[in-house]
Amino acid sequence: MKDRIDSLLEEVEQFTPDNQEKAESFRLKYLSRKGRIAELFDEFKTVAPELKREIGQKLNELQTKAKEKFEAFRSRHDHDASDSEQTVDLSLPAESFEGSRHPLMLVREDIISIFGRLGFTVADGPEIENDWHNFSALNFPEEHPARDMQDTFFIDKDIALRTHTSSVQVRIMETTKPPIRMIMPGRVYRNEAISARAHCFFHQVEGLYVDKGVSFADMKQTLLYFSREMFGEKTEIRLRPSYFPFTEPSAEMDISCSICGGSGCNVCKHSGWVEILGCGMVDPQVLKNCGIDPDEYSGFAFGMGIERITMLKYGVNDLRLYSENDVRFLNQFKPVW
């Protein structure tokens, strides 16, 4: 028995586990309940009393050596984060439970809070919408391309996934007596091929202000306030004449590029300006369609894409990142407590 202990001692001494698998087979072979050392301890019970002392000492030495070898590997391995074979113990309690906020939700909340300071409240509407609220009440002519199957996901002849949050304006105006000062964030759908620059669903925030004597200047000042709160106080805005069926006059609004500060970069295509929203005075016919007298009331409306604002605020250059649930992307938006 003495010889066998000696030869095991030699084996143990020579063994240098360099990965998790080898260390585990070492542990099983020598240190487990059915391992070599346990076997020898079993056999030890039958050893003659006069040999017990000597053999007992040897056996203890062997066991200590084997344990040391294994522990030495383990502590080296635990500290070596670069070891590609490091395994994760899934039974350990999680280090922390807090996840991260989705960037689109962070920006959505920023938008709500900025307009909240100007007295705008939040309203909601359905994502499955009828033709009247999504198109007809907003003056879209019968043959408008947005009504085409190629742009819109139709569920039925009269029912579609809303293509913009402007449908919620209609619902609000139909049911609320002015003054109305509301923003309407939500998800919208378009029949587009998915790429870095387009997606079949995205998010918008609609804004609507209807009261007696609301002017284009009110709109301009509101949007300037928003832009500076969102992108910094040095931000400038410019309005370019545009066309939407539901506003007259209509405009698209650019801000001085938040990435390069206006000096020219890829994002602003070296123009110094980036478009962030569409806006205009609510067309008198739209007010009428919704039961509001255009001789008494006027209003402005605007609509912006949350993905676009987020892209400019955080430098996200691919729309697909927002919906892929990649934690490497999402973890960057973890709150700093």
Question: Pick from 26, 115, 140, 244: which binds ligand DAH (CB under 6 A)?
Answer: 244
Question: Pick from 26, 134, 140, 206: which binds ligand DAH (CB under 6 A)?
Answer: 206
Q: How far is the CB of 143 from ligand DAH (least distance, A)?
A: 18
Q: Which of residues 263-302 bind ligand DAH (CB under 6 A)?
A: 278-280, 301-302
Q: How far is the CB of 121 from ligand DAH (least distance, A)?
A: 17
Q: Are strands 121-122 and 180-189 parallel, antiparallel or unpaired?
A: parallel
Q: How far is the CB of 263 from ligand DAH (least distance, A)?
A: 29
Considering the complex, state which of residue 77 and residue 164 has its C-beta at the smaller distance from ligand DAH: 164
Whole-angstrom Cα distance, residue 204 to residue 161?
14
Considering the complex, state which of residue 166 and residue 235 has its C-beta at the smaller distance from ligand DAH: 166
Q: How far is the CB of 283 from ligand DAH (least distance, A)?
A: 9
Considering the complex, state which of residue 40 and residue 184 has its C-beta at the smaller distance from ligand DAH: 184
Q: How far is the CB of 173 from ligand DAH (least distance, A)?
A: 12
Considering the complex, state which of residue 40 and residue 279 has its C-beta at the smaller distance from ligand DAH: 279
Q: How far is the CB of 113 from ligand DAH (least distance, A)?
A: 20
Q: How many chain residues are in contact with ligand DAH, going by CB under 6 A?
A: 11
Q: What one-character DSSP code corresponds to residue 255?
A: E
Q: How far is the CB of 305 from ligand DAH (least distance, A)?
A: 8
Q: How far is the CB of 208 from ligand DAH (least distance, A)?
A: 7
Considering the complex, state which of residue 230 and residue 286 has its C-beta at the smaller distance from ligand DAH: 286
Whole-angstrom Cα distance, residue 112 to residue 148?
32
Q: Give the residue closest to ligand DAH by C-beta.
A: 303
Whole-angstrom Cα distance, residue 308 to residue 200?
15
Whole-angstrom Cα distance, residue 68 to residue 9?
12
Q: How far is the CB of 203 from ligand DAH (least distance, A)?
A: 11
User: Per this entry, what is the length of the chain?
Assistant: 337
Q: Is 67 left (phi over 0), alpha (psi -120 to 50) or beta?
A: alpha
Is residue 133 classed as helix, strand or coil in its secondary structure?
A: helix
Residue 186 interacting with ligand DAH (CB under 6 A): no
Residue 166 interacting with ligand DAH (CB under 6 A): yes
Considering the complex, state which of residue 27 and residue 133 has its C-beta at the smaller distance from ligand DAH: 133
Q: Does an H or E element contain 9, and which? A: helix 2-14
Handedness of CA 31, 33, 39, 40 (dihedral sign): positive
Q: What is the largest CA-CA distance in the chain?
A: 117
Is residue 83 classed as helix, strand or coil in its secondary structure?
A: coil
Q: Which residues pair with 301 in a beta bridge?
A: 208, 280
CB of 265 within 8 A of CB of 273?
no
Q: Does an H or E element contain 73, and which? A: helix 49-79
Whole-angstrom Cα distance, residue 81 to residue 87?
10
Residue 303 interacting with ligand DAH (CB under 6 A): yes
Considering the complex, state which of residue 59 and residue 277 has its C-beta at the smaller distance from ligand DAH: 277
Considering the complex, state which of residue 125 and residue 280 has its C-beta at the smaller distance from ligand DAH: 280
Q: Please name the amino acid found at residue 216.
A: F
Radius of gyration of the chain (CA): 35
Considering the complex, state which of residue 87 and residue 121 has its C-beta at the smaller distance from ligand DAH: 121
User: Where do contacts with ligand DAH occur on this chain (CB under 6 A)?
Assistant: 164, 166, 206, 244, 247, 278-280, 301-303
